[in-house]
């Protein structure tokens, strides 16, 4: 994003007590806060369900079936499981490993041929090494 000359002009140098990991970008901070707000919303809705379950005379009301949770829980487990290859894909992308990134993404999306390494990428695209990240 910023060329080094600009950074130098702004007097940017790495502080001695800088954290070892890469700092979160503004976008990460913003997204984390939005997700916190969303999590609070779902937390409150789930709490409302249990509030009615414990406090109300009869909940769910007559004529409404009990919620069936087996299939949603299985789907939730599947969703959470896809998080693992996504994290690995992100890690590969950060280390500049193009092939591994594509393969882990394919695993997450359930694309078996691509996951096994049979590239369907358009032919003739050179496997360019990504440029080194400015440090």
Partner 1 sequence: MAVDVLSPDARRSVDRLERVWREPSGLVGWLTTTDHKRIGILYFFTSLAFLGAGGVEALLIRTQLIGPDQDVVSPETFSQLMTMHGVTMIFLFVIPMSIGAFGNYLLPLMIGARDMAFPRLNAVSYWIYLAAGLFLYTGLFTGNGPDAGWFDYVPLASREFSPGPNIDFYALGLVFASVATTASAVNVIVTILRLRAPGMAINRMPLFCYAMLAANGALVFALPPLSAGLLLLELDRLLGMRFFDVAAGGDTLLWQHLFWIFGHPEVYIIVLPAFGIATSIIPTFARRRMVAFPLVALSELLVAFIGFGVWAHHMFAVGLPTVNAVYYAAASLVIVIPSAVQLFAWLTTLVTGTPRFATPLLWIVGFIVFFIVGGLSGIMFAAIPFDQQATDTYFVVAHFHFVIFGAAVFPLFGGMYYWFPKVTGRMYHEGVGKASFWLTFAGTAVTFFPMHVVGLLGMPRRNYTYPSGLGWGPYNLIESLGSYLLAAGLLLVMANLAVSRFRGAPAGNDPWGGDTLEWVTTSPPPAYNFAVTPTVSSAYAAWDTEDRERDARRLQRGERTLDGSHETQATSVLDGDPEEILHMPAGSWLPILVAVVLAAVFAMLLTQHFVVAGVFALGVAAVVAVWHLEEPEDPEPAFVLGERGKR
Binding footprint of partner 1 on the chain (CB under 8 A): 1-3, 5-7, 9-15, 17-19, 23-24, 26, 29-30, 33-34, 36-38, 40-41, 43-45, 48, 51-52, 55-62
The answer to whether the CB of 106 falls within 8 A of the CB of 82 is no
Q: Angle at Cα 92 formed by Cα 88 and Cα 98, nearest 5°?
A: 130
Please give the radius of gyration of the chain, using alpha carbons only, rounded to the nearest integer: 23
Which CB, 51 or 81, lies closer to partner 1? Answer: 51
Q: In the complex with partner 1, which residue's Cβ is closer, 39 or 74?
A: 39
Give least dist CB 127 to partner 1, A. Answer: 26
Closest CA to 119 of 101, 92, 96: 101
Instruction: In angstroms, give the least distance from the CB of 61 to partner 1.
Output: 4
Q: Which two tokens stand for residue 39?
A: 């999590």
- In the complex, least distance from residue 91 CB atom to partner 1, rounded to whole angstroms: 22
């Amino acid at each position: 994003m910023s060329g080094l000359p600009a950074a130098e002009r702004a007097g940017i140098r790495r502080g001695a007590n800088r954290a070892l990991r890469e700092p979160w970008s503004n976008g990460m901070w913003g997204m984390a806060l939005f997700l916190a707000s969303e999590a609070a919303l779902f937390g409150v809705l789930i709490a409302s369900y249990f509030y009615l379950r414990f406090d109300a005379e009869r909940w769910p009301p007559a004529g409404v079936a009990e919620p069936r949770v087996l299939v949603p829980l299985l789907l939730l487990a599947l969703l959470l499981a896809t998080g693992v290859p996504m994290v690995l894909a992100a890690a590969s992308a950060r280390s500049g490993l193009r092939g591994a990134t594509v393969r882990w993404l394919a695993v997450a999306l359930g694309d078996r041929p691509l996951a096994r390494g049979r590239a369907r990428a358009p032919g003739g695209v050179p496997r360019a090494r990504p440029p080194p990240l400015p440090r």
